Amino acid sequence: MDTLPVVIVRPGEADRLLAGHPWVYAASIMRLTKPAEPGDVVQVKDHRQRFLGIGFYNPKSKINVRLLTQEREDINLAFFERRIRAALALRTKHMPKATSFRVVNAESDFLSGLIVDKYEDVLVLQTSSLGMDMRKAEIIAALQRIFKPRAIVERNELASRKFEGLADANGVIAGEIEGDIDVKLNGLSFKTNPLGGHKTGLYLDQQANYQRVAEMSKGAQVLDCFSFLGGFAIHAAKEGAAHVHALDQSADAIKAATENAAANGVANKCVFEEANVFDWLKAQSTVGPNEKLLPKYDVIILDPPSFTRSRSAVGDALRGYKEIHLRALKLLKPGGTLATFCCSHHVDSTLFMDVILTAAFDAHKVLRRVETFSQSPDHPVIPSIPETEYLKGFAFEVAR
Ligand code: SAH
């Protein structure tokens, strides 16, 4: 342990690391005590030589060190097994009935650079840092011991890998798998193919919210905007919605959602329409000079993709968010519920709330907030690592 190269950070940098944030940027580093190779394990100390932790070194990345632990411990198979078991215990505590969930969510589980999703008996692995990627064999061995999975699949085509000097990699790395997996979310069936194709990317982060929004939808006429594989729509239909109209611009998503609805026995209550939500909402909420708009929906769900990947595009994103909220509010019946989500890192919950209130003002509606949503507990939020929080949402009733 004491033979490891030591990265000394500048004065003032230690507190953030002590508070739990795992990234040491190049600019925070004062010096190294001896050369380290990309991917090596290093110690991190402050300028007074106080030990701060151990992590992976990669000078090719803007993040030079990703801390893994504040203890003096070896980073080996036993370490990964302990950490993954601890992450699993959290899921079991907070989502006792779930059979598909994110087992390891990188920084949220103090394993920066590692994501593991469990789709029933198949595990999907992503390694986005060089140090983690180099230790895939130990990670796979730990996963085998804990889960005894039917297969482990690698889905490593992330843009972030390029910053670490890693090439794309995709395929089965342990066991065997053929065709789709029938993934259960809250006991409902969703088909996905972990190896790719059009059915990839079944999101797990809304699992808790599917159920909560569904419970608000009993007997309701529901509109699900940006429906993807039908997560919200099918949960609502199953929980007793009178009818669900779902919109997505992707033909593949519409096809998959239609099949998912049938597999869950709610095809008769759901319509999945291929449409651009902006155009559709505009057409539905625009009336002629002597016409009156008759709101049709008791519940409207807005779960769009992130409208901005960069801080500079936040203005455009906010205009987009405002537009869909304004239109949706016009289509909501008095007393109806708007369940709305924002997964953009650059739009925080205060800013998101501001946009919604501006839209409500323009629509001449007063809203009552009845629920606040976050990502499901398998994507834990660590407030001292702000990057771990990205999904926020609210349910509002139209108060008047
Ligand atoms: N609610 C979904 C996640 C939505 S992801 C769930 O719980 O799984 C975003 C979806 O929005 C994608 O399926 C994408 O095809 C769709 N989309 C993006 N822009 C769109 C637009 N302008 N109109 C309609 N759908 C859009």
Q: Which CATH class is domain 203-398?
A: alpha beta
* Predicted confidence (pLDDT) at residue 205 exceeds the cutoff of 80: yes
Residues 216-239: pLDDT tens digits?
A: 999 999 999 999 999 999 999 999
Q: Cβ < 6 Å from ligand 1: which residues? A: 203, 206, 226-229, 231-232, 247-250, 253, 276-278, 303-305
Atom 18 of ligand 1: nearest residue by CA position: 305
Using the mean position of ligand 1's atoms as its centre, give its distance from the Cα of residue 196 in Å.
18
What is the C-alpha separation between 49 and 52, in angstroms, rounded?
A: 9
Q: Probe ligand 1: pick from 248, 276, 376, max atoms within 8 Å of CB?
A: 248
pTM above 0.75, yes or no: yes
CA of 250 to the centre of ligand 1 (A): 8
Residue with CA closest to ligand 1 atom 16 = 226
- Which residue's C-alpha comes closest to atom 5 of ligand 1? 305
Residue 329 Cα, ligand 1 centroid: separation in angstroms?
19
Question: pLDDT class for 197, splitting at 50, 70, 90?
Answer: low
3-state secondary structure labels for all residues of 145-214 = HHHCCCEEEEEECCHHHHHCCCCCEEEEEEECCCCCEEEEECCEEEEECCCCCCCCCCCCCCHHHHHHHH
Q: Does the pLDDT at position 196 exceed 80?
A: no
- Residue 276 Cα, ligand 1 centroid: separation in angstroms? 9
Residues 34-67 pLDDT 10s: 999 999 999 999 999 999 999 999 999 999 999 9
Percent of the chain with pLDDT over 90: 87
Would you state the structure tokens that stand for residue 15, as one six-digit string?
């507190």
**Nearest residue (CA) to ligand 1, atom 22:** 276
Residue 138: predicted pLDDT? 98
The pLDDT of 312-324, averaged and rounded, is: 93
pLDDT at 199 over 50: no
Task: Quickly state the pLDDT bin for 312 (edges 50, 70, 90).
Answer: confident
**Band of the pLDDT at 157, cuts 50, 70, 90?**
confident
Given this model, what pLDDT does residue 160 score?
83
DSSP 74-103: --SHHHHHHHHHHHHHHHHHH-TT-SSEEE
Alpha carbon separation from 96 to 148, 199, 226, 357 (Å, rounded): 19, 26, 28, 36
Domain ranges for the chain, please list them: 6-69, 77-183, 203-398
Q: Residue 10: which pLDDT band, with cuts at 50, 70 and 90?
A: very high
**Ligand 1 atom, smallest distance to 278 CA:** 22
Query: Whole-number mean pLDDT of the chain?
Result: 95
Residue 31 pLDDT > 90 = yes
The pair of structure tokens assigned to 50 is 């106080």
Is the pLDDT reported for residue 276 higher than 50?
Answer: yes
Can you tell me the mean pLDDT for 301-309? Answer: 92
Atom of ligand 1 nearest to the CA of 206: 7
For the segment 65-109, what is each residue's pLDDT rounded down to a tens digit?
A: 999 999 999 999 999 999 999 999 999 999 999 999 999 999 999
**Mutation to probe ligand 1, out of 205, 228, 229, 391 (largest number of atoms < 8 A from CB):** 228
CATH number of 77-183: 3.30.750.80
The shares of helix, strand and coil residues in the chain, as percent rounded to the nearest 5, are: 35, 30, 40
Contact 33, 18 (CB under 8 A): no
Q: How far apart are CA 234 and CA 232, in angstroms?
A: 6
Return the residue whose CA atom lies nearest to atom 11 of ligand 1. 226
pLDDT at 15: 96
What is the residue with the minimal CA distance to atom 10 of ligand 1? 226
Residue 200: is its pLDDT beyond 70? no
- Ligand 1 centre distance from Cα of residue 303 (Å): 7
pLDDT in tens, 115-128: 999 999 999 999 99
| Catalytic positions, written as ranges | 343
Q: In whole angstroms, what is the distance from residue 373 CA to residue 380 CA? A: 13
Measured from the Cα of 280, ligand 1's closest atom is 23
Provide the CA 302 distance to its chain's centre, in angstroms: 16
Which residues, in sequence order, are CB contacts of 147 under 8 Å at separation 6+? 103, 118, 121, 123
Q: For 320-355, how does the pLDDT look when each residue is reduced to its tens digit (9 = 90+)?
A: 999 999 999 999 999 999 999 999 989 999 999 999
- Most informative mutation of 200, 210, 249 for ligand 1 (most atoms within 8 A of CB): 249
Mean pLDDT of 166-174: 92
- CATH number attached to the domain at 6-69: 2.30.130.10
Least confident range from 59-63, 206-210, 276-280: namely 59-63
